[in-house]
A and B are shown apart, each in its own frame.
Chain A
Amino acid sequence: MKRIVTATVINQSGVLNRITGLMTKRQFNIESITVGHTEKEGVSKMTFVVNVDDNAKIEQLIKQLNKQVDVLKVTDITDQAIVVRELALIKVISNAQIRSEISGIIEPFRASIIDVSRESITVQVTGNSDKIEAILDLLRPYGIKEMVRTGITAFPRGSQKSVTDLKQYSILN
């Protein structure tokens, strides 16, 4: 099962190495990882998506991460009401004729075209992973020349009324 884990860390050199090394050593598969500064100076936040077999494994990961001296806090936020965003850049093969067609496809996704050349356009889209998968599905028939994704970054919503978070009850997940 996929779990989203965030770790607040002191921004020391080597901390990323320690954490990814730990995950390799303990045989955790990192699906994606993002790191960046937070509102506090010297403190960074990492967001991992990991694939684990069971709850015991994820508990072990959190405990091992917590043992690191430069790690301040580790949370498995998968089951909380969270805001999740990922950015993708998609270079789609497109000549002038079908440019507007693509533009129409991506419009409902609130994606934007950020680069245009004679043979291709580059689409930028942000959202949760499902949304990005959906737009990729629609663009694939046109031919995707290149695609990069940032991996997700996330944190809990301001209020934790989980009833409003319908995603948890979706049968698709």
Chain B
Amino acid sequence: MRAKAKPEAEAVTAEMTGADVLIHSLKKENVDVLFGYPGGAVLPIYDALYRSPIKHILSKHEQGSIHAAEGYARVSGKPGVVIATSGPGATNLVTGITDAMMDSLPLVIFTGQVASTVIGTDAFQEADIMGITAPITKHNYQVRDVQDLPRIIKEAFHIATTGRPGPVLVDIPKDVANKTISPDYDSTIHLPGYQPTFSPNILQIKKLADAVGAAKKPVILAGAGVLHANAGKELVAFSEKHRIPVINTLLGLGSYPGNHPLFLGMGGMHGTYTANMALYECDLLISIGARFDDRLTGNLEHFAIHATVAHIDVDPAEIGKNVPTQIPIVSDAREALKKLLEIESPLPDTEEWRKKLTQNSEDFPLWKKVSTTEFLPQRVVELVHEYTKGDAIITTDVGQHQMWAAQYYAFADANRWVTSGGLGTMGFGFPSAIGAQLAFPEQTVVSLTGDGGFQMTLQELSTLQELNLPVKVVIMNNQTLGMVRQWQEAFYEERYSQSLIPVQPDFVKLGEAYGIKSFKVTNEEEAKAVFEEAFSHREPVLIDCRVSGKENVYPMIAPGKGLHQMIGVKP
């Protein structure tokens, strides 16, 4: 039973505490769900929350909160909002904040702080979270005066969601949250040092249009910026109009239909042969909302060496950072594509180029072993695709299962793919599935995870149990840290140091301990039967898929090699 609470502080003019101001500001920002964990320094905030209708998701560890917020933000485009207490609460968020920074996810994070009077005295549960998060946030604030709170929150949401999205942290000392004021919500945002460019320079657009007209071997590299800008339709229109093949980055998957004839697949370390050779051989590379991560480019000395490089990015600092760029375009991806579509320019003749690429795809398709005895991990992804009709939201951690999901799920639509790209965070996938499911309660959400990564955040099974969300946890259990094992096999003469994990919990019993229907499958037949059942009911399910532990992800570019030096392109 709830204790009798004070009536909700609705009237804005009345005196209210800093904590009430925070909750009221969240409502003004249309926040419908919070991810958090209470503690001493945020007691005033949780007291204000007690009399508020905003939904709060209680995780079992702050890392679970922030990854859930990331999943929510990734699929909905709305900012994920997190609350944690001072000290350990705040430091437990650090991995998630860094992850969101690397993958440009909009988050607004509120951390409690010890009272202003004792900041700097090594007080109980004090951590210098401003110092700790300075390099991993787009911006951070410590609220010194409660009168600034409405403005700071407004600015925090503005900064997190505009330009290149990213995490913004607001640190609130306990006394500030307790202090009573008559808030002024009308303060306008005044950020003279923050003016992100939205529209492209039209001269640069013309330059790119001319380059497109003259190109013989053009290719588009589409990254997550296309998803953030909601530019999928424009991208398809542009590529079809000029008949330019499209490659996705890992994080860009879904920004271009995976079954489109112009789609070459994912590029990079475990990308398709066709995509990587196209990046190597092209004479015009149009990168849209991608940041030339080293896992995509391979050795930069060999990257797109024959190409004129055009780079459309909302963040000017990404242009020219890794790859010399001849046509820089600072712009929102959608705005730039719209302008490109408006310009009348000659269409390039790409027929020969496309023929060659099609030939490559036929000669060197993605391949996997065919086995009647082994249960291959790639088949798990294919079966999930089959039983979800290719329309599920898929979340992953990092490693082999992530690469197989990227290779074999063939995302047809945007915002179905939630993965930790830049930071490569184990333990990201499962909590982020909970966040994604909260954003889209009707959608099928599958947490494709490995036995290693799942065990890093499996405490959130309790959250899943409490919320009874229909998330399907599919553990691709190979009893190894697969990618580590693969690298040890390839580069450390099969010295499998600390990567084989034969002793494991009984995942079925574990799931059942949390009241979640759980299955173990050891071959394809069993998997089919269980998937059939699992995906036809709207309830949480855990499936421990005992797959072969010796499979490697291919094709592959070894570290230090160029995109044209792929290994394992054929069985």
Interface on A for B, CB 8 Å cutoff?
9-10, 13-14, 17-18, 21-22, 25, 56, 59-60, 63-64, 66-72
A70: chain B residues within 8 A (beta carbon):
139, 193
User: Are B135 and A60 in contact (CB-based, < 8 A)?
Assistant: no
B121-142 near A? 1/0 per residue, CB < 8 Å: 0000000001100110011101
User: Are A67 and B142 in contact (CB-based, < 8 A)?
Assistant: no
Most buried by A among B144, B193, B324: B193
User: Are A60 and B320 in contact (CB-based, < 8 A)?
Assistant: yes
Sorted nearest first, the 5 A-B pairs with minimum C-beta distance are A63-B317, A69-B139, A69-B194, A72-B193, A18-B134
B194: chain A residues within 8 A (beta carbon):
69
User: Are A69 and B142 in contact (CB-based, < 8 A)?
Assistant: no
Q: B138 touches which one: A14, A69, A71 (CB < 8 A)?
A: A69
User: Are B131 and A17 in contact (CB-based, < 8 A)?
Assistant: yes
User: Are A69 and B193 in contact (CB-based, < 8 A)?
Assistant: yes
Beyond A69-B139, A69-B193, whether A59 also contacts B320 by CB under 8 A is yes
Nearest CB on A from B184, distance (A): 20
A61 to B403, CA, bound (A): 33
Given pairs A60-B320, A71-B193, 6 additional interface contacts (CB within 8 A):
A17-B134, A25-B135, A60-B317, A63-B316, A64-B317, A67-B317
Q: B320 touches which one: A10, A14, A56, A67 (CB < 8 A)?
A: A56
Q: How many residues of B contact A (CB 8 A)?
A: 20
User: Are A21 and B317 in contact (CB-based, < 8 A)?
Assistant: no
Most buried by B among A10, A66, A69: A69
A22: chain B residues within 8 A (beta carbon):
135
A19 to B231, CA, bound (A): 33
User: Are A68 and B193 in contact (CB-based, < 8 A)?
Assistant: yes
A13 to B194, CA, bound (A): 17
Beyond A21-B134, A59-B320, whether A72 also contacts B140 by CB under 8 A is no
When C-beta atoms are compared, the residue in chain B nearest to A24 turns out to be: B135
A13: chain B residues within 8 A (beta carbon):
142, 144
A59 to B139, CA, bound (A): 22
User: Are B135 and A69 in contact (CB-based, < 8 A)?
Assistant: no
B191: chain A residues within 8 A (beta carbon):
69
B460 within 8 Å of A (CB atoms)? no
B321 within 8 Å of A (CB atoms)? yes
B418 within 8 Å of A (CB atoms)? no
A67 to B321, CA, bound (A): 14
**Interface class of chain A by DSSP:** helix
Would you give 28 A-B contacts (Cβ < 8 Å), ordered by A? Answer: A10-B192, A10-B193, A13-B142, A13-B144, A14-B130, A14-B131, A14-B134, A14-B140, A14-B142, A17-B131, A18-B134, A21-B134, A25-B135, A56-B320, A56-B324, A59-B320, A60-B321, A63-B317, A66-B316, A67-B315, A67-B317, A68-B139, A69-B138, A69-B139, A69-B191, A70-B193, A71-B193, A72-B192
Nearest CB on A from B122, distance (A): 19
Nearest CB on B from A41, distance (A): 14
B135: chain A residues within 8 A (beta carbon):
18, 21-22, 25
Nearest CB on B from A32, distance (A): 22
B192: chain A residues within 8 A (beta carbon):
10, 72
When C-beta atoms are compared, the residue in chain B nearest to A20 turns out to be: B134
A25: chain B residues within 8 A (beta carbon):
135
When C-beta atoms are compared, the residue in chain B nearest to A13 turns out to be: B142
Nearest CB on B from A85, distance (A): 26
A68: chain B residues within 8 A (beta carbon):
139, 193
A70 to B192, CA, bound (A): 8
A18: chain B residues within 8 A (beta carbon):
134-135
A104 to B276, CA, bound (A): 71
A70 to B321, CA, bound (A): 22
Residues in B138-160 with C-beta less than 8 Å from chain A: 138-140, 142, 144, 159
A14 to B192, CA, bound (A): 17
Nearest CB on A from B188, distance (A): 16
A64: chain B residues within 8 A (beta carbon):
317
B529-561 near A? 1/0 per residue, CB < 8 Å: 000000000000000000000000000000000
B317: chain A residues within 8 A (beta carbon):
60, 63-64, 66-67
A70 to B141, CA, bound (A): 11
A22 to B136, CA, bound (A): 10
Nearest CB on B from A45, distance (A): 13
A60 to B192, CA, bound (A): 21
A60 to B322, CA, bound (A): 10
A10 to B159, CA, bound (A): 16
Residues in B302-348 with C-beta less than 8 Å from chain A: 315-317, 320-321, 324
Most buried by B among A9, A10, A25, A63: A63
Most buried by A among B135, B140, B142: B135
Nearest CB on A from B133, distance (A): 10
A67 to B101, CA, bound (A): 13
B315: chain A residues within 8 A (beta carbon):
67
Nearest CB on B from A38, distance (A): 14
A161 to B324, CA, bound (A): 32
B130: chain A residues within 8 A (beta carbon):
14, 17
A10: chain B residues within 8 A (beta carbon):
192-193
A56: chain B residues within 8 A (beta carbon):
320, 324
B142: chain A residues within 8 A (beta carbon):
13-14
Nearest CB on A from B192, distance (A): 6
B138: chain A residues within 8 A (beta carbon):
69
Nearest CB on B from A128, distance (A): 29
A173 to B131, CA, bound (A): 39
A18 to B142, CA, bound (A): 14
A21: chain B residues within 8 A (beta carbon):
134-135
A68 to B166, CA, bound (A): 12
A17: chain B residues within 8 A (beta carbon):
130-131, 134
A66 to B196, CA, bound (A): 10
A18 to B169, CA, bound (A): 14
A18 to B135, CA, bound (A): 7
Nearest CB on B from A21, distance (A): 5
When C-beta atoms are compared, the residue in chain B nearest to A25 turns out to be: B135
A61 to B246, CA, bound (A): 31
B183-207 near A? 1/0 per residue, CB < 8 Å: 0000000011110000000000000
